[in-house]
A = this chain, B = another copy of it.
Amino acid sequence: MTSPSPCRWGILSTATIARKNWQAIRDAGNASLVAVASRDAEKARRFVEECHAQVPQPRKPEALGSYEALLQRPDVDAVYIPLPTGLRKEWVIRAAEAGKHVLVEKPVAVCAADFREMMEACRQKGVQLMDGTMFMHSRRLQRLREVLDDPDMIGDIQRLVLHFSFPGGEEFMRQDIRTKTALEPMGCLGDLGWYCIRFALWAMEFATPNLVSAHAQSRAMEGRKATGVPVTASGRLFFGYNGRESDAMFHCSFDSSNAQWAVINGTKGSLYVSDFVLPFSGATTGFTVRKPEFVLNGCQFDMREGQLEERIDEPSNNAPGSQEAEMFRTFSSLVLDGKIDDRWSSISLKTQEVLDACIESCNKHGSAIPLMGK
- A residues within 8 Å of B by Cβ? 16, 19-20, 22-23, 50-51, 54-55, 154-155, 158-159, 161, 163, 165-167, 217-218, 232, 234, 245, 247, 249, 251, 253, 255-261, 263, 265-270, 274-275, 278-282, 290-294, 296, 298-307, 316-318
State A224–B269 Cα separation when bound (angstroms): 29
Are the C-beta atoms of B22 and A299 separated by less than 8 Å? yes
State A251–B253 Cα separation when bound (angstroms): 21
Partner of A265, one of B154, B163, B217, B275: B163
Are the C-beta atoms of B292 and A256 separated by less than 8 Å? no
Which residue of chain B lies nearest to A53 when distances are taken between CB atoms in the complex?
B298
Partner of A303, one of B22, B50, B278: B278
Given contacts A245-B217, A299-B54, contact A269 B257 (CB under 8 A): yes
Greatest chain B CB density within 10 A among A55, A166, A258, A268 is at A258
State A50–B23 Cα separation when bound (angstroms): 68
State A158–B298 Cα separation when bound (angstroms): 41
Given contacts A266-B256, A268-B257, contact A274 B300 (CB under 8 A): no
Chain B residues lying within 8 Å of A293, measured Cβ to Cβ, are 258
Chain B residues lying within 8 Å of A282, measured Cβ to Cβ, are 305
Are the C-beta atoms of B265 and A158 separated by less than 8 Å? no
Partner of A266, one of B16, B257, B280, B298: B257
Are the C-beta atoms of A165 and B305 separated by less than 8 Å? no
12 extra A-B contacts, CB within 8 A, seeds A20-B301, A22-B299: A23-B299, A54-B298, A155-B257, A217-B245, A258-B303, A259-B265, A260-B292, A275-B303, A281-B304, A281-B305, A301-B318, A303-B317
Chain B residues lying within 8 Å of A269, measured Cβ to Cβ, are 257
Are the C-beta atoms of A290 and B268 separated by less than 8 Å? no
Are the C-beta atoms of A263 and B159 separated by less than 8 Å? no
Which residue of chain B lies nearest to A156 when distances are taken between CB atoms in the complex?
B256
Greatest chain B CB density within 10 A among A245, A268, A299 is at A299
Chain B residues lying within 8 Å of A301, measured Cβ to Cβ, are 20, 278, 317-318
Partner of A317, one of B22, B263, B275, B300: B300
Q: How many Å from the CB of A62 to the closest CB on chain B?
A: 18
Are the C-beta atoms of B290 and A274 separated by less than 8 Å? yes
Chain B residues lying within 8 Å of A296, measured Cβ to Cβ, are 16
Chain B residues lying within 8 Å of A22, measured Cβ to Cβ, are 299
Are the C-beta atoms of A23 and B300 separated by less than 8 Å? yes
Chain B residues lying within 8 Å of A261, measured Cβ to Cβ, are 263
Chain B residues lying within 8 Å of A300, measured Cβ to Cβ, are 20, 23, 54-55, 317-318
Are the C-beta atoms of B253 and A158 separated by less than 8 Å? yes
State A46–B305 Cα separation when bound (angstroms): 32
Chain B residues lying within 8 Å of A303, measured Cβ to Cβ, are 258, 260, 275, 278-281, 316-317
Are the C-beta atoms of A161 and B163 separated by less than 8 Å? yes
Are the C-beta atoms of A318 and B302 separated by less than 8 Å? yes
Which residue of chain B lies nearest to A165 when distances are taken between CB atoms in the complex?
B265
